[in-house]
Amino acid sequence: MTVALKELKPMFNRLRLSAMYEHAESMFDDIQTCSMSHTDVLKELFKAEIARRDENALHRRIKQANIRHKDACMTDIDYTVDRGLNPSMINQLGACDWIRRHQNCIITGKTGCGKTWLAGALTNAACRAGFSAKFYRVPALLKELTANRQLPTEIQRSMRELRKVDLLVLDDWGLGQLDSINRSDLLEIIENRCGSGSTMITSVMPVKAWAEYIQDPTYSDSILDRLVLNAHRIEMKGVSMRSLPQYGAIERKK
């Protein structure tokens, strides 16, 4: 590394081009760099900086998404266990065109079949495709919104964030009971996102039972019309994955 490059380090740091400087160090120590044109050297340096920034942005999106299963990814989806999953459909969803079109996704099935994990894998794919995402358990979200109603600025901030995110994941839809405030909050969230963002829902409750969960004909019609009609549906089946030895179950001697 030449003295001239060392002297440039403060400038790189001031411009927040640390990855570019580190790559410059390695390039200038490589004798092959001498045969490269100035344009090619600059191109390689910019590529290194862009890659670093893209990686940092990805880490921020994944962290902000707060995915329940952070290690869930598309390549690890287990199709060997019969759960009614269509690989072609799942891969298509993993390409994220449905998010670009502001469509929804509904994943239903019995407890333990892997709904939340699959939602996590699809959310990770969305983050890697450049979309912002936020993962919530519905009971916790409604509790948080109810508490925030005591502070007008907080409830406004919460609703604004829920409206702006590209993909909103509502996990455990159907758990607990809704009161009038919960119904109003859910409708506002869904209404604000209709046509401008995508919502993914996981639920042990089949879609046909959602009206009973909402417990108000007017609200259920409004919510379901906005959620279900443009939603991709995944109806999972089979035994609980937690009952299988490869997913942590203790084998019992017969």
61-76 average pLDDT score: 94
Instruction: State the pLDDT at residue 109.
Output: 96
Q: Do residues 94 and 221 lie in contact, with contact meaning Cβ atoms separated by under 8 Å? A: no
pLDDT tens figures, 84-100 = 999 999 999 999 999 99
Instruction: State the pLDDT at residue 3.
Output: 52
Structure-derived torsion over alpha carbons of residues 150, 152, 153, 156, reported in degrees to the nearest 10: 110
Write the single-letter amino acid at 232.
Answer: H
More confident residue, 239 or 183: 183
Longest dimension (CA), the chain: 75
Cα atoms in the 13 Å half-sphere on the side-chain side of 24: 20
- Taking alpha carbons only, the member of 111, 93, 113 closest to residue 103 is 93
More confident residue, 113 or 6: 113
Give 7: exposed, middle or buried? Use CB within 10 Å, 0-12, 13-18, 19+: exposed
Q: Do residues 105 and 118 lie in contact, with contact meaning Cβ atoms separated by under 8 Å? A: no
Residue 151 — pLDDT band, cuts 50, 70, 90? confident
C-alpha 217/C-alpha 208 separation (Å) is: 13
Residue 1 — pLDDT band, cuts 50, 70, 90? very low
- Phi first, then psi: what are they for 235, rounded to 5°? -110, 100
Q: What SS3 class is residue 111?
A: coil
Q: Do residues 23 and 45 lie in contact, with contact meaning Cβ atoms separated by under 8 Å? A: yes
Residue 125 — pLDDT band, cuts 50, 70, 90? very high
Q: What is the pTM of this model?
A: 0.83
10-37 average pLDDT score: 76
Write the single-letter amino acid at 162.
Answer: L
Neighbours of 18 (CB within 10 A): 13
